[in-house]
Chains A and B, each alone.
Chain A
């Protein structure tokens, strides 16, 4: 999975540069997040602007990141969701769990 990782203060932004997040590639994202947690970085922003489709495994990776971040008193926020991805979150009611922002800046400001 193509991930572009940038750090700003103690906030890490992960930009997913894939059209799809599914069973084939979401494992990479999960591993990347676990690595960040190991390094003591608990505040993540996942930028989904390129993602067109998320399946249950993709959601699973995000949920796992979310739970791990929360357990370490950090947080995982999402931004820039395309409409189809947004509807997937609404269907599973996960939009009430994740903090979702329209732009990266808004997400950064919320920390």
Chain B
């Protein structure tokens, strides 16, 4: 007999220990040493499948119904064979799409439907509620059995101890404690896209503990209380010969159909229970781990079931065949045999089993609730706050608490009337309803959103009607009439004999009807309804996830696109500023940014997709889509096709096939990718051939002169048009078209109202004409014109639409060309900069020789392609060497050239100039003479060290003072010597100082890029921090010290890139 207090204390200590391990795991991950790289952890964490239902319920089930317990573990074992194909595919897709839950997965697959996400979430919530209730029940019951084993409470929970108020029962306390730990494990920060490493490790350890505990009690019963397997079986058969049917199938208790049903639903449960999805897919660190888990999980299942029958039989023998307490044999056997501490171990095992399940489920479901129920509402209401992330994390915590408390409520209402096992099966059946949507979604492209929504709803309703309603009835919560007479007294609607189907057990019955409706709706509607375009895209992505796919050519662009900064701002709102910045810099790392700091046109849609995915990782796919769409539409931006060929022409208007074919041909011409001139000529050729115009002209605006300049012409020679270039004013038709951005049409030149134009028109005998502006993003860039000498009234309403559309296409061709030119130019420049960079890097010391007495390392990181920083290490003939650090202001080619000159100068004079001060003096002279009036200037620190005498001589030309760590004094000293920066005055005297170094001293030369690195609050990194860093890292090698400094500065600024060049040189005196 162990007092409840002690058990409680032990449990809390156990939880605290788990939390400590989880915390440690999180910290390790932050240090980049992920514990999850160990594949055992993944395998063990999957065993979260085995809950207290397994731990206590298996024995109970084996004792009452025999082999019925087995399919629950055979199912996953069978399913494990498919994992390399199915599970790996799910993991791959989830990683690609940043999917965080099963609701997210289904919603993403089917057109990122917000409705589907909500349905799956609700379904999962109701489906899992009984399961959580079961865990609470198990913990509460076992706690009471443990503390008062002599008078087993048959039903109902007496309050634990007298000091508690009556409304607080054990299960509620357990629920609250579990909520607390779930929040600690799963919702300390809002980053569901990142993994909860700590949680996974804790779950894995719990799995190990429950296995150990179960094996321990199994061995104790089999070999301690009895004499091995044979003994138990013999004694059982002697004592209860009538119960032999426990070991066969096809009995009344365990019919073949029931067995099959159980097998099917447990196969689906291991894949599609929200917590299994969370652990197997969302938290999966590496696809390779799946391979190992494929045999380890079945092995685990085997081990944890090995002693189920011996314990069950042993329990029956010792309890005289009474099965009423069979669920708790695992606990009562050691207790009644006088081994309370073994019982405590069992209790801890059972606690692990329950807690693991409750935590993972509640976290998974609360993420789903947040993403699929709460977010859409928040978005709909357009609640405006600066920082959603804080609200979101609190909502998530609330969600966890809510889910667990809902489980508690279910337990209070239903829990008492059902055995553990039956409650679990209700949840399994719910998870099975996801199977068509999931499996179809993975392998069948045709499957669409409407079909899935309908199928799931059918499945949900039938599940509710055939399983939950009977359970409500049995608990006396609703009247039992419905069971006997059916809904509204219609016999066909009896929940357990739906449509007259009889002879099945309740689970097979429910499986049959729910899956029949679910699957039929899913298949039929998929066959008979069509997918939208975006839906097809998603379907392809999912089904082809494991195939090598060619990225589709970018055909979309965004008009009035937001800038990078705006995207970051949007993301920060939902995920916090730091993660947003980190994400965007990761994204931009491999991309070219143009001179204005923005991406080129065709990369913006990519950025949009990236932003959407990043958000999806935090709020789910459907809300992410809504967020971005709302955002873009409020800005007036929209995605548009680059070749919007039939955009403004509707078929009914332009029933004329000829006209449509012109548009199509024009699109072909533009897509041909020929050069601009040829494209324009061809389009005009097409226009004049098809519609017999006498003259077609394309003019573009030349910005310097503000004239419209002819770029292409078809028909009469330009002689006819004395002024082929047109000034811009509203006196002419063409000017009017351009300036007012509307098409100017004259169908009969008898009626002209602009005298300036009339003169030429009459001279050339034009009968009708039109000018339409070539518009890009709302601005005219040119004019497309067509003239006829023979016909009048050619420009009908439909024809104008076509004409305008052609002009739009010309605009696209023009823009494409401009972009291409721009890209070519940028690439050319970049290539040159790359060459310059290579040359510059080759000017820095490639390797620094290994030396016996000192160790030297250096690093130079230019902020841009080229920079103005320079360091050098030159060995002198007379036993010693020079260390130089210099900083040329600016980071452009000019700076790089001066840096190169500096180096040449020093290397040329090194043999003739022996002293640092002298070297600086002649450098100053050189710069003054050669860099007159330039705004570039140079600072330099020049040191000379002799390892034999330990003397360090140095001079400075206005350079940042290097740091010297004095090992014996344990302090940092700044090396300052008088001297002006180069190139200001013709002659400057440089002070030369000498100091004595000792073993262990560290000299750090650097440029201002380090100390002037800024954090978010515009605070500098500064020399103090740098000094402290050296002080803390005296044991590191020179190279390691440099790396450490770089890491710290990066962490300080929060950026991967630096805005200034950074150079570091470290010298350590070894002996």
Contacts and interface: CB of A to CB of B under 8 A. Distances in A.
Contacts of B978: 93
Contact of B984 (A30, A61, A94): A94
A30 B935 contact: yes
Contacts of B891: 23
A30 B960 CA distance: 24
A23 B890 contact: yes
A93 B935 CA distance: 17
Contacts of B890: 23, 56-57, 60
A68 B934 CA distance: 9
A55 B936 contact: no
Interface string A77-101: 0000000000000011110110000
A30 to B, nearest CB: 6
Contact of B937 (A53, A63, A96): A63
Contacts of B983: 63
B889 A60 contact: yes
A25 B952 CA distance: 39
Interface string B882-926: 000001011100000000000000000000000000000000000
A91 B937 contact: no
A92 B1008 contact: no
A59 interface: yes
B1027 interface: no
A23 B1061 CA distance: 12
A99 B984 CA distance: 14
Given A67-B984, A93-B980, A94-B981, A56 B939 contact: yes
A99 B934 CA distance: 20
A34 B1052 CA distance: 38
Nearest to A90: B958
Given A55-B1012, A94-B980, A94-B984, A64 B889 contact: no
Contact of B933 (A23, A53, A61, A68): A68
B497 interface: no
Interface in A45-71: 53, 55-57, 59-61, 63-64, 66-68, 71
Interface residues of B, number: 24
B933 A71 contact: yes
Interface string A15-27: 0000000010010
A92 B980 contact: yes
Contacts of A97: 980, 984-985
B6 to A, nearest CB: 63
A26 B936 CA distance: 12
Scoring B937, B979, B983 by chain A CB atoms within 10 A of each residue's CB, the highest score goes to B937
B97 interface: no
B980 A67 contact: no
B872 interface: no
B946 interface: no
B958 A60 contact: no
A91 B958 contact: yes
B1012 A59 contact: no
A67 B937 CA distance: 12
A67 B933 contact: yes
A53 B889 CA distance: 15
B934 A64 contact: yes
Scoring A56, A63, A66, A96 by chain B CB atoms within 10 A of each residue's CB, the highest score goes to A56
Nearest to A56: B889
B935 A61 contact: yes
B932 interface: yes
B937 A59 contact: yes
Contacts, number: 61
Nearest to A97: B984
Contacts of B984: 63, 66-67, 94, 97
Contacts of B1012: 53, 55
A97 B1012 CA distance: 23
Contacts of B939: 56, 92
A67 to B, nearest CB: 5
A92 B932 contact: no
B988 to A, nearest CB: 9
Contact of A56 (B934, B961, B985, B1008): B1008
Given A23-B890, A91-B958, A91-B961, A56 B980 contact: no
A59 B938 CA distance: 11
Interface in B962-998: 978-981, 983-985
Contacts of A56: 887, 889-890, 937, 939, 1008
A57 B1060 CA distance: 11
A58 B981 CA distance: 14
A86 to B, nearest CB: 14
A60 B978 CA distance: 20
Nearest to A89: B958
Nearest to B928: A67
Contacts of A96: 980
B1010 to A, nearest CB: 13
Nearest to B1061: A56
A56 B961 CA distance: 15
Nearest to A68: B933
Contacts of A30: 935
B1008 A55 contact: yes
A68 B1012 CA distance: 28
Contacts of A91: 958, 960-961
Nearest to B990: A93
A97 B937 CA distance: 14
A48 to B, nearest CB: 17
B933 A92 contact: no
A64 B889 CA distance: 12
Nearest to B868: A56
Nearest to A95: B980
Q: Which 10 A-B pairs have the closest CB atoms?
A: A64-B935, A92-B958, A56-B889, A60-B935, A60-B889, A93-B980, A92-B981, A93-B958, A67-B933, A57-B889
Interface of A: 23, 26, 30, 53, 55-57, 59-61, 63-64, 66-68, 71, 91-94, 96-97
14 contacts: A23-B890, A56-B937, A57-B890, A59-B937, A59-B981, A60-B890, A60-B937, A63-B981, A67-B933, A92-B939, A93-B978, A93-B981, A94-B958, A94-B984
Given A56-B887, A93-B979, 16 more contacts: A23-B890, A23-B891, A55-B1008, A55-B1012, A56-B937, A57-B935, A59-B889, A59-B981, A60-B889, A60-B890, A60-B937, A63-B935, A92-B958, A94-B958, A94-B980, A94-B981
